[in-house]
């Protein structure tokens, strides 16, 4: 049986072996390169960067200038900003790219779309209502789903 298989393999022309080898290398390389992209899910992730001011006054607007970076490999739509606040504060609005201003509905304001690997500027506007310490967390979301860790900070609110 072995001798028979060996004779059959010896009858294959050398040029066919070269073509077969190249085909195996191409298919293997393609599978190793593209396979993981097809199998893995797309990552939806964004980061809020910047700093939260450390001081504010009761009843006065506090504008927080931040950036939102889509570090995932898919677009985010609708793009939302969620604010977690511990302390007396009115969440007013978020201005996206200095153009589109959207009001908060509860702890979230949504506006537009953010493409993969794109960054935009944000201005979060809020009004402290009482003196003390205001703990804030500002994070990105797609609709109601959080897609990254919030940027956290404490604001000393004076009368």
Higher pLDDT, 133 or 72: 133
The answer to whether 125 and 92 are in contact (CB under 8 A) is yes
Same domain, 87 and 142: yes
Domain span at 126: 46-158
Ranges 10-19, 87-96, 100-109, 124-133: which has the least confidence:
10-19
Predicted confidence band of residue 39 (pLDDT cuts 50, 70, 90): low
Residue 15 has pLDDT above 80, yes or no: yes
Same domain, 30 and 84: no
Higher pLDDT, 10 or 96: 96
The C-alpha atoms of residue 27 and residue 18 are separated, in whole angstroms, by: 14
Same domain, 64 and 11: no
Report CA 74 to chain centroid distance, whole Å: 8
Higher pLDDT, 143 or 112: 143
**CATH number, domain at 109?**
2.60.40.10
Q: In this predicted structure, what is the pLDDT of residue 136?
A: 97
Higher pLDDT, 59 or 21: 59
Q: What is the mean pLDDT of the chain?
A: 89
Same domain, 62 and 110: yes
Same domain, 95 and 151: yes
Domains in the chain, number: 2
Higher pLDDT, 23 or 157: 157
Task: Please write down the HEC assignment for all residues of the chain.
Answer: CHHHHHHHHHCCCHHHHHHHHHHHHHHHHHHHHHHHHHHCCCCCCEEEEECCCCEEECCCCEEEEEEEEECCCCCECCEEEEEEEECCEEEEEEEECCCEEEECECCEEECCCECCCCEEEEEEEEEECCCEEEEEEEEEEECCEECCCCEEEEEEEEC
Same domain, 75 and 133: yes
Tell me the per-residue pLDDT of 61-101, one tens digit each, with 9 for 90 and over: 999 999 999 998 888 999 999 999 999 999 999 999 988 99
Tell me the per-residue pLDDT of 47-64, one tens digit each, with 9 for 90 and over: 999 999 999 999 999 999
Same domain, 52 and 90: yes
**Counting beta carbons within 10 angstroms of the beta carbon of residue 46, is it exposed (0 to 12), middle (13 to 18) or buried (19 or more)?**
buried
Same domain, 65 and 139: yes
Same domain, 132 and 58: yes
Residue 35 has pLDDT above 70, yes or no: no
Residue 120 has pLDDT above 80, yes or no: yes
Same domain, 82 and 11: no
The answer to whether 112 and 99 are in contact (CB under 8 A) is no
Same domain, 89 and 154: yes
Same domain, 58 and 117: yes
Query: Model pTM?
Result: 0.73
């Amino acid at each position: 049986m072995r001798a028979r298989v060996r004779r059959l393999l010896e009858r294959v022309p050398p040029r066919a072996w070269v073509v077969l080898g190249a085909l195996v290398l191409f298919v293997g390389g393609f599978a190793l390169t593209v396979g993981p992209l097809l199998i893995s899910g797309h990552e939806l992730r964004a980061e809020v960067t910047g700093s939260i001011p450390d001081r504010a006054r009761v009843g006065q607007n506090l504008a927080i200038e931040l950036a939102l970076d889509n570090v995932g490999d898919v677009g985010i739509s609708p793009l939302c900003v969620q604010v977690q606040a511990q302390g007396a504060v009115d969440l007013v609005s978020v201005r996206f790219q200095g153009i589109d201003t959207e009001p908060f509905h509860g702890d979230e304001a949504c506006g537009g779309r953010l493409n993969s690997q794109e960054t935009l500027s944000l201005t979060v506007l809020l009004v402290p209502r009482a003196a003390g310490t205001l703990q804030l967390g500002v994070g990105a979301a797609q609709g109601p789903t959080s897609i990254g860790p919030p940027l956290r900070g404490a604001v000393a609110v004076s009368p």
